């Protein structure tokens, strides 16, 4: 394992107080772990901005009685089968369905997929959650 490096940070005392209160509330054991997570968050955001290969998770909720909607959702996923790693369908009640679709691809391509699917008529709610393949992070 590569040895960790240490560095000092100058910070306004009030900012430090707020940071310490926040990371304690979030359950971090120490500042170092919180700062490592913030750096990784920055790097993953940059991967998305640079249109690198990333992982996206799209979650949608819809009523499967809506005319042609289940077929449209299925057809759309077949058109993008190369980017879809996995999907999960949950019957929430007698009419509402939740679908989670995990995708791997260029950030722009995944964003377009999410925008089009979430924007499909009849989809009640949809979100895109972005993460990394992990291959570029130590
Ligand atoms: Ni269902």
pLDDT band at 75 (very low <50, low <70, confident <90, very high): very high
In a domain, 110, yes or no: yes
- The single residue listed with the structure tokens 């972005």 is 130
pLDDT reported for residue 23:
97
Helix (H) or strand (E) holding 93: none
In a domain, 88, yes or no: yes
For residue 52, the CA-to-ligand 1 centroid distance in Å is 33
For residue 64, the CA-to-ligand 1 centroid distance in Å is 6
For residue 97, the CA-to-ligand 1 centroid distance in Å is 4
For residue 88, the CA-to-ligand 1 centroid distance in Å is 10
Ligand 1 is an ion; its neighbours by CB within 5 Å are 91, 97
Structurally, the chain folds into a number of domains equal to 2
Domain residues for the domain of 105 are 53-132
> How many CB atoms neighbour CB 58 within 10 A?
22
Question: Which pLDDT tens digit goes with each residue over 24-68?
Answer: 999 999 999 999 999 999 999 999 999 999 999 999 999 999 999
Res 138 pLDDT > 90: no
pLDDT reported for residue 60:
98
Beta carbons of 113 and 55 less than 8 angstroms apart: no
> Does 68 lie in the same domain as 109?
yes
In a domain, 6, yes or no: no
In a domain, 8, yes or no: no
- Give a three-class secondary structure readout of 1-41: CCCCCCCCCCCCHHHHHHHHHHHHHCCCCCHHHHHHHHHHH
> Does 115 lie in the same domain as 57?
yes
> Does 71 lie in the same domain as 45?
no
For residue 89, the CA-to-ligand 1 centroid distance in Å is 6
Q: Could you give the CA distance from residue 8 to residue 71 in angstroms, rounded to a whole number? A: 57
């Amino acid at each position: 394992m590569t040895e960790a490096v240490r560095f000092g940070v100058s910070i306004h005392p009030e900012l430090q107080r707020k940071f310490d209160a926040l990371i304690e509330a979030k359950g971090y054991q120490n500042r170092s772990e919180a700062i490592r997570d913030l750096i990784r968050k920055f790097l993953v955001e940059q991967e998305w901005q640079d249109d690198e290969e990333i992982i996206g998770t799209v979650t949608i909720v819809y009523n499967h009685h809506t005319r042609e909607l289940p077929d449209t959702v299925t057809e759309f996923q077949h058109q993008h089968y190369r980017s879809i790693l996995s999907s999960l369908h949950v019957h929430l009640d007698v009419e509402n369905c939740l679908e989670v679709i995990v995708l791997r691809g260029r950030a722009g391509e995944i964003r377009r997929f999410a925008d089009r699917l979430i924007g499909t008529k009849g989809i009640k709610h949809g979100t895109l959650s972005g993460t990394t393949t992990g291959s570029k992070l130590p």
